[in-house]
Every structure is written in structure tokens, then in C-alpha cells.
Amino acid sequence: MNQTVTKASAVISPLGDSALVITFGDSIQYDIHKQIKTYKDSIESNPFPGFVECVPAFTNLTIFYNPLEVVAAVGKKQKKEFVSPFEVVSSIVQSKLENEQTEKELNHRTVSIPVCYGGEYGPDLEYVARHHNLTTEEVISIHSEGEYLAYMIGFAPGFPFLGGLSERIATPRRPSPRTSIPAGSVGIAGMQTGVYPISTPGGWQLIGQTPIKLFLPEQNPPSLLQAGDIIKFEPISKEEYQEMQAKEGEK
């Protein structure tokens, strides 16, 4: 497999015949996220011919492109021997990596998510509390006082993988996943927390639920949350949950 190592210590690798992956590291770190977000924004603000979209993950950025459009654009500029679409896009990306400045601070959007913790909305809250010798109130306080960075959106449409969970409430996944989890469920898995935007099977420990819709397929973009967002959870009562849920249903 062809690979290119850039001066920015990133590795560019092909992914099929219409995408490439830029790998910035092998661990979940803010500095790596910053590089990914910077290059994603740069490419999207000044796309090359044939560009389709960028998809950020924990340690890499996947760039999708239309190979026919890439080759056509090259053919208009020069009459040389054939080069593959990957070589063309890789060259463009490598140049951008070597010239892009990553010292500037990122501008993070802050999104507040209301959550009704415990009871029917958070069936695993008591387990998480017992696991750490805490009260349920302490778990709620620790979880809702944190600020979480959305490193990536994936697994299910609109599902945010959030970093920044306190070690005091980090809890392993359930030994047996549930076959169906209600949309809006807020869970913990290891050192991560997240929100299920749609009903889906899953093994995270469920501690609460939000009435807010995170996946809106009729909108663009369809995901309420985006990689790079800062998420804050706001505790609400059961009555407030039901009132907000009714309003969401009217939209």
C-alpha cells in the first residue's frame, strides 16, 4: 500500500479508489484533534476539484473525492503521463499539511444538553454509583459539572464520542449489550460519555436521557452535534423532561 509521510508527521494512505486517510497519531489527544479540525476546516473552505467530503475521527481524517473529476481537472492543466487520483489528491493534501499553521486556537461551539438522570431514564445510574462508592447525586453532579469535547461523530447517525469524563465515574461497558436503547439516552463507557441519537443496540451504562433530538435527517447537517463541539449536560426534572419532549414532538 502506498503511503506518504509528511513534514507534519502525518501519514497519508489510500482508502479504496475514492478516498484517502490522513493519520496524525495513535492516541486520543487534544493536540491531534486540533490538527484534524484545522485541516478539515482548511480543506472544506478551499476544496480541490473532485472533493466530496471530510470525515474526522479520533486520530485521523478521511477525505472522499470523485476520482473522475480529479483526473479531469489534472488533464485540463497538463498533458503528461497518467497519474492516479490518489497521487493527485495526496500531493494536494501533502502541500496543505506542510503549509498549514496549527498554532492558532480553535473556536469551539458550546452546546448545552438537558438530561433527566436516573429512574426510568437512567437505569444504570445506581450501578455506576455503587461501582465507585458514590451516591447517585454525586454521580449526577460529577457528570453534569464536566465539559466534554466531541472528538468524532460515528457508530450511529449523530452519535457523539465525548472526551473529558472524570475518572471518578469512568465505568466499564455492560457485560451484555441491550438490544434496544431509547433515543436520547446518555451513557458511560470507560473514559467516555455519549448520547444515543437514535434507538439502537448498545452496551453503554445508561445514566440519563435528553428530550432533545440529536439526529434530524431533514436538516443539513442532520447531526445537531459536530466534531469540535464542547458539550455541557444540564440536569432537569422528570416534569421538565416531559414538557421539553412534548415541545420537541411539535416541531
R_g over Cα of the chain? 21
Specify the pLDDT at position 248.
81
Q: Map out the domains of the chain with their CATH numbers.
A: 4-99 (3.30.1360.40), 110-250 (2.40.100.10)
Specify the pLDDT at position 156.
87
C-alpha cell at 208: 440519563
List the alpha helices (DSSP H) in the chain.
Answer: 30-45, 67-77, 85-99, 125-131, 136-145, 238-250
Specify the pLDDT at position 7.
47
Q: Which residues contact 62 (CB under 8 A, 6 or more apart)?
A: 15, 19, 20, 21, 22, 54, 55, 56
Nearest Cα neighbor of 240 from 218, 209, 196 is: 209
pLDDT digits (tens, 9 = 90+) for 42-79: 999 999 999 999 999 999 999 999 999 998 887 655 55
Specify the pLDDT at position 2.
57
pLDDT < 50 regions, the chain? 1, 5, 7
Residue type, 135: T
- Taking CA atoms, 147 is separated from 68, 80, 91, 98, 224, in Å, by 43, 53, 38, 32, 17
Residue type, 178: R
- Cβ atoms of 142 and 128 within 8 Å: the answer is no
Instruction: Give the per-residue SS3 of 95-149.
Output: HHHHHCCCCCCCCCCEEEEEEEECHHHCCCHHHHHHHCCCCHHHHHHHHHHCCEE
**Helix, strand, or coil (residue 207):** strand
In the chain, % helix, strand, coil (3-state, to 5) comes to 30, 30, 40
Q: How far is residue 97's CA from residue 146's CA, in Å, rounded to a whole number?
A: 33
C-alpha cell at 244: 421539553
Specify the pLDDT at position 250.
61
Residue 187 burial (CB < 10 Å; 0-12/13-18/19+)? buried
